[in-house]
A and B are shown apart, each in its own frame.
Chain A
């Protein structure tokens, strides 16, 4: 089977290339973090902040002599330096850190990151990501899927009806959702539906109480109901925001096909609209649309920093943000690793799909 051989060939070649890319990305990220002194600088400041707080607390305790105070401070500083690994040069941490990143065998260093995960320390980076990922999937990925589900059948149809009122409306809608930031829409939605109308929650972080396996097992119906209660507004708002872009993109891809001779001929032959859209348009644009879909889903897991903050929805975006702000190098590496893996997998699948979908494609 020539197709199979071609597929295997592509699968192996692309697998190796992407695998090497993954290793290099993680390694160089570790180099950047270490060589620039970024994490060391932040961690040192963090240690100093804790030392200052300790110093302030201690010196107000009666009976402590200056010598004792200095001794305690020094001991604590040394302990913290050791805990954060600052007693070794950055390059000595580089290779072990890269290897441990691949195994996700790293511990979160900052409290802020642990707070986003909602878990106590000591906390593995993998555990933190495992906690944040489903939250992002529930809000962003689900919204992305919903938007796709609407846009994929509707986009070609709108393209087919180019110039109609529906087409014009969709263009305007896309322009509006493109211009209005999602987090702004989120703020308005929370105020209107949560605080004013009272039909939606106002404290979304409570969803965390229900995103637990034990909870689901003990009462599945109630748990799902609660998850839906807390998630429906974020999902709807996000879908509303995504849909414009999706409709416009799918329409744009389809519109070039709509003017092709074979579509005109099909229409002239009097074929039903549905058949024209499905067979003559959708099938042709499948390649680029699949690209959108796969890459859209892959990037959706990175989350949205501001929107998550507005909804107090501690997902992947918030995790990224806090990891960067607090100089939590292990978490940054872990996140880059996980999101790169997902993206690379997406790319991999996509490239294989190209081969399957289009016999002309050679890699």
Chain B
């Protein structure tokens, strides 16, 4: 009985403790995001500053421009996060003013120039056609007296000279922009100077640092003026009254300046600079619509514009991005003047490298991976392309603008994406504010007419994309700092035989048959080999839950991918939704087959795609991230192609006048509900069974599952009035397009794989250079420069040694890591080529492979061998003088002493002699003796004084002479040093210390001279005293003698 009571009591205790333990475990391993709720509202740009000042909003996701950012930067409690947002440049119109055809073949400008009798500078381009024996020649200045056999194809009736047609002038214009001042004054610091189309805002810049550094254009208007003078004069233009004219007409430039933003000021700055160069500039201040029409809708040879203040938005960052080169530096992609329009004049590259290739070859190779077999080759091509593209100078780059994202200072879990700033997918996952479970996010809009929550044809604007990304996990995503693809909801392994080899596709791999609407064996479709194979591990996906509580299964993935493939490859569907199908087809064409490994939750994807970075192959293998459950994605197909009540794309919507499906709008949610409770719910399973059935007949979803899923969606719509059900950390639980408000509620299902801090990356830690220790470099001697840098490892340091006078790059390379830091070693053979007594500009760039934020420091490298010799000479000269002075002084003193001793000895001898005579004479001859004694003493005194005086004068003269000589030498040396100091600019510290040493020596010398003088004075004084004492002694002696004699 007692035992049973104890047992019951024990059981009760266990039962009471169990839930406690379970709850503790749940709390410790809480899944989902950091905050419980995000309320997302619209704040206009007019409101946002006050909203932050009065604490109504915690974070704002629309990037602010410089003026507003500056205001908010001074608001207490608000922190600004910045991210590159766009690029500004001056697009130049390099069109010729005259195009002729001649029945000869010229292979160079020089040949053509010889024929036409003009300076080669006038010819922009020659295009020989050997087959037809013709050459097309483009002139930058109109030529009137053309040789016979020349046909004028085009001659401008607007301009007779286009200064931007001359590549030399275009390139020189890079030096007419004071980028640093523009960043500071126009952009209030919220921009980065941009020298070419790649810069620190691009992750791939780490591979191009030394190439871009070659083009670090400084502000040198005089240099530009010289270039312009030279080119224009050679072209036959004349400067009259400060204005260039050609054939009597002023050389005119039409500047199209946008008025909406900072480009207004940029345009006027550029126009002013061009006027200063002597051009007549007509500025047209235009809005977007007017400007775009003039620049991109007209033939460049119509000269509706000469320069345009271009602005470009930046997309997501991409570690291996060849597109800046393709879009901004090359011409093949259709972004150079002429815009690839077949009936316009189109710019063709002028600059050819040593192998005869232009920027287009390198750009096309890197962008399309044509002929690329390795990363090294790709990087090399990108470097060459960047160099050539910059030399073409069809755009003068000014800045990369920065967007600012304000947030409360105590907002936790922020990730600053180098591309998207705070708009990054990582952010909402980690956000939290101490003491509250809600984060209040602001955006410029919550809903616009383009905010379409439709995974197949919508998500065209940031206002739908940004909140939606909080509701689903992508399969792979991009590292926020360097843009490399990384695994997110799936892990992956990559196997590739590319770029040239192939792998066999297994016989049981499957692919979609769009004709019969079912999965079939890939081999039946003739798909037997592929370039690469990626194994996607979906363990974190399958088995977890959709927001409505249904389990995610293989059926979801297969149905989702099948809907995509059918949309693109089904003849009828792809025609109806051609604006989705056409652009997607080339990418989907690369897929060969998939092989689901059901038991292992793994999917093998076979595709004909190769990249030197396997992460790119993995990212490419994800046909689509599965954001919606099978029943909802199938509903997209149903409503677009069966009932045709909704369009998937905006084009079809506008074309047919039917709305675009958007799962967050009440009307569409109601439509989903109606159809789920009607035909689609009842018959959809059978209609779409093929979408989730394997070729062996295995159906991956049962009818019961289907029914349960249908009911779950209906319940969800009843509860929230929205039909957006996904699989990420937040559920979309409220959406009001009219009130511009939505709410995201944390999804804390235990099957959800990620916790609150799993995707918090923080802010990219920029690499910093803490010190550069550059010793004095003696030409012909090895030199080592020690660089210390901090940042996210692995770090690299590159260097570039430039002659500041010519701008020539003398050396470049990568520093080697060592215990003391990074060592830049300049060999003695190299340093032997450096000029002595010269200063060189050493640019040191440190960067991390992980963060695209390199640090750059420019120091002066001093060749100081000659300066060293001077200093040694000065030191030696000084030492010699001091030694000489010391020796002279010692000699003089010795002489004085000797003379004095001799005199004293003589006095003593004389005295003794006279004493003797006195003793002998004693008596009558006393007066005679005394007279003689007195004379002797006088003579002695005179002699002694003369000797001393002469000695001291001699000593003084010697000293004066020595000091004067030393002063002259020192003066000369210091003058020499000063001149060296001026010449050698940056080494003043070292020289100062040398000069200080010299000063000290001079002071010491002065002290020595003073000491010598004092010693001489002391000696003179001693001699005088001794003389007086001797005389006194003699008098006393004589007095004693007299007394004795008297007595």
State how many angstroms separate the Cβ of A229 from the closest Cβ of chain B. Answer: 13
**Is the beta-carbon distance between A45 and B288 smaller than 8 angstroms?**
yes
> A362 within 8 Å of B by Cβ?
no
State how many angstroms separate the Cβ of A70 from the closest Cβ of chain B. Answer: 8
State how many angstroms separate the Cβ of B651 from the closest Cβ of chain A. Answer: 6
Q: Which of A75-83, A257-265, A280-288 contacts B (4 or more CB under 8 A)?
A: A75-83
Given contacts A195-B56, A209-B738, contact A83 B655 (CB under 8 A): yes
> B582 within 8 Å of A by Cβ?
yes
Given contacts A63-B587, A122-B654, A122-B657, contact A205 B42 (CB under 8 A): yes
**Is the beta-carbon distance between A72 and B583 smaller than 8 angstroms?**
yes
State how many angstroms separate the Cβ of B321 from the closest Cβ of chain A. Answer: 9
A44-81 vs B, CB cutoff 8 Å, 1 = contact: the mask equals 11101100101111111111111010111001100110
Q: Which residues of chain A have C-beta atoms less than 8 A from B50's C-beta? A: 190-191, 195, 202
Of A41, A62, A65, most buried by chain B (CB within 10 Å of CB) is: A62
> A126 within 8 Å of B by Cβ?
no
Q: Which of A111-119, A336-344, A351-359 contacts B (4 or more CB under 8 A)?
A: A111-119
> B332 within 8 Å of A by Cβ?
yes
B636-680 vs A, CB cutoff 8 Å, 1 = contact: the mask equals 000000000000001101110111101001000000000000000
**Is the beta-carbon distance between B579 and A76 smaller than 8 angstroms?**
yes
**Is the beta-carbon distance between A205 and B289 smaller than 8 angstroms?**
no
> B44 within 8 Å of A by Cβ?
yes
**Is the beta-carbon distance between B582 and A72 smaller than 8 angstroms?**
yes
- Cβ-closest chain B residue relative to A107: B657
Bound together, the chains give a CA A60 to CA B616 distance in angstroms of: 13
Bound together, the chains give a CA A190 to CA B323 distance in angstroms of: 46
Q: Which residues of chain A have C-beta atoms less than 8 A from B43's C-beta? A: 203
Q: Which residues of chain A have C-beta atoms less than 8 A from B47's C-beta? A: 190, 202-203, 312
Q: Which residues of chain B have C-beta atoms less than 8 A from A70's C-beta? A: 340
A17-59 vs B, CB cutoff 8 Å, 1 = contact: the mask equals 0000000000000000000000001101110110010111111
Q: Which of B51, B655, B738 contacts A195 (CB 8 A)?
A: B51
Q: Which of B334, B585, B655, B658 contacts A79 (CB 8 A)?
A: B655
Bound together, the chains give a CA A195 to CA B737 distance in angstroms of: 23
State how many angstroms separate the Cβ of A109 from the closest Cβ of chain B. Answer: 9
**Is the beta-carbon distance between B651 and A76 smaller than 8 angstroms?**
yes
Bound together, the chains give a CA A196 to CA B56 distance in angstroms of: 11
Bound together, the chains give a CA A60 to CA B620 distance in angstroms of: 12
Q: Which of A45, A63, A196, A310 contacts B54 (CB 8 A)?
A: A196
> B586 within 8 Å of A by Cβ?
yes
> B884 within 8 Å of A by Cβ?
no
Interface residues of B in 306-344 (CB under 8 A from A): 315, 318, 323, 326-327, 332-334, 340
State how many angstroms separate the Cβ of B40 from the closest Cβ of chain A. Answer: 12
> B426 within 8 Å of A by Cβ?
no
**Is the beta-carbon distance between B741 and A206 smaller than 8 angstroms?**
yes
Bound together, the chains give a CA A70 to CA B41 distance in angstroms of: 40
Given contacts A54-B583, A83-B654, contact A115 B449 (CB under 8 A): yes
**Is the beta-carbon distance between B659 and A122 smaller than 8 angstroms?**
yes
Q: Which residues of chain A have C-beta atoms less than 8 A from B42's C-beta? A: 203, 205, 312
Bound together, the chains give a CA A122 to CA B449 distance in angstroms of: 10
**Is the beta-carbon distance between A75 and B297 smaller than 8 angstroms?**
no
**Is the beta-carbon distance between B739 and A121 smaller than 8 angstroms?**
no
> B703 within 8 Å of A by Cβ?
no
Bound together, the chains give a CA A52 to CA B659 distance in angstroms of: 24
> A266 within 8 Å of B by Cβ?
no
**Is the beta-carbon distance between B740 and A206 smaller than 8 angstroms?**
yes
**Is the beta-carbon distance between A62 and B56 smaller than 8 angstroms?**
no
Q: Which of B54, B586, B738 contacts A61 (CB 8 A)?
A: B586
**Is the beta-carbon distance between B659 and A121 smaller than 8 angstroms?**
yes
Given contacts A41-B289, A45-B292, A119-B449, contact A59 B654 (CB under 8 A): no
Interface residues of B in 561-584 (CB under 8 A from A): 578-579, 582-583
Bound together, the chains give a CA A64 to CA B620 distance in angstroms of: 13
The secondary-structure label for the interface of chain A is: helix
> B782 within 8 Å of A by Cβ?
no
- Cβ-closest chain B residue relative to A59: B333
Interface residues of A in 191-226 (CB under 8 A from B): 191, 195-196, 202-203, 205-206, 208-209, 211-212
**Is the beta-carbon distance between B739 and A55 smaller than 8 angstroms?**
no
We find that the number of chain B residues with CB closer than 8 angstroms to chain A is 63
Bound together, the chains give a CA A62 to CA B736 distance in angstroms of: 37
**Is the beta-carbon distance between A208 and B54 smaller than 8 angstroms?**
no
**Is the beta-carbon distance between A64 and B654 smaller than 8 angstroms?**
no
Q: Which residues of chain A have C-beta atoms less than 8 A from B665's C-beta? A: 120
> B448 within 8 Å of A by Cβ?
yes
State how many angstroms separate the Cβ of A106 from the closest Cβ of chain B. Answer: 12
Interface residues of B in 30-57 (CB under 8 A from A): 41-44, 46-47, 50-51, 53-54, 56
Bound together, the chains give a CA A305 to CA B585 distance in angstroms of: 45
Q: Which residues of chain B have C-beta atoms less than 8 A from A49's C-beta? A: 288, 292
Q: Which residues of chain A have C-beta atoms less than 8 A from B445's C-beta? A: 115
Q: Which residues of chain A have C-beta atoms less than 8 A from B296's C-beta? A: 48, 52
Q: Which residues of chain A have C-beta atoms less than 8 A from B318's C-beta? A: 60
State how many angstroms separate the Cβ of A36 from the closest Cβ of chain B. Answer: 13
A106-144 vs B, CB cutoff 8 Å, 1 = contact: the mask equals 010001001100111111000000000000000000000
Bound together, the chains give a CA A178 to CA B260 distance in angstroms of: 30
Bound together, the chains give a CA A65 to CA B333 distance in angstroms of: 11
Q: Which residues of chain B have C-beta atoms less than 8 A from A327's C-beta? A: 289
**Is the beta-carbon distance between A115 and B740 smaller than 8 angstroms?**
no
**Is the beta-carbon distance between B51 and A56 smaller than 8 angstroms?**
no
Q: Which of B44, B297, B579 contacts A44 (CB 8 A)?
A: B297
Q: Which residues of chain A have C-beta atoms less than 8 A from B654's C-beta? A: 83, 121-122
Bound together, the chains give a CA A41 to CA B291 distance in angstroms of: 11
Q: Which of A46, A79, A208 contacts B579 (CB 8 A)?
A: A79
Bound together, the chains give a CA A70 to CA B586 distance in angstroms of: 13
- Cβ-closest chain B residue relative to A46: B289
**Is the beta-carbon distance between B450 and A111 smaller than 8 angstroms?**
yes
- Cβ-closest chain A residue relative to B55: A195
Bound together, the chains give a CA A190 to CA B43 distance in angstroms of: 13
- Cβ-closest chain A residue relative to B47: A202
Q: Which residues of chain A have C-beta atoms less than 8 A from B651's C-beta? A: 76, 79-80, 83
- Cβ-closest chain A residue relative to B737: A118
Given contacts A41-B289, A75-B578, A120-B662, contact A64 B586 (CB under 8 A): yes
Q: Which residues of chain B have C-beta atoms less than 8 A from A208's C-beta? A: 738-740
Bound together, the chains give a CA A149 to CA B741 distance in angstroms of: 37
State how many angstroms separate the Cβ of B368 from the closest Cβ of chain A. Answer: 8
> B590 within 8 Å of A by Cβ?
yes
State how many angstroms separate the Cβ of B981 from the closest Cβ of chain A. Answer: 54
State how many angstroms separate the Cβ of B673 from the closest Cβ of chain A. Answer: 16
Q: Which residues of chain B have C-beta atoms less than 8 A from A205's C-beta? A: 42, 738-740
Bound together, the chains give a CA A71 to CA B582 distance in angstroms of: 9
Bound together, the chains give a CA A195 to CA B57 distance in angstroms of: 12
**Is the beta-carbon distance between B323 and A121 smaller than 8 angstroms?**
no
Bound together, the chains give a CA A42 to CA B288 distance in angstroms of: 9
A/B interface sample: 6 pairs, CB < 8 A: A45-B293, A54-B583, A65-B368, A72-B582, A111-B448, A202-B50
Please name 5 further chain A to chain B contacts, defined as beta carbons within 8 Å, in addition to the given A45-B297, A80-B651, sorted by A numbering. A45-B293, A61-B587, A82-B655, A202-B56, A312-B44
The 6 tightest CB contacts between A and B, nearest first, are A208-B738, A209-B739, A114-B449, A64-B586, A206-B739, A45-B289
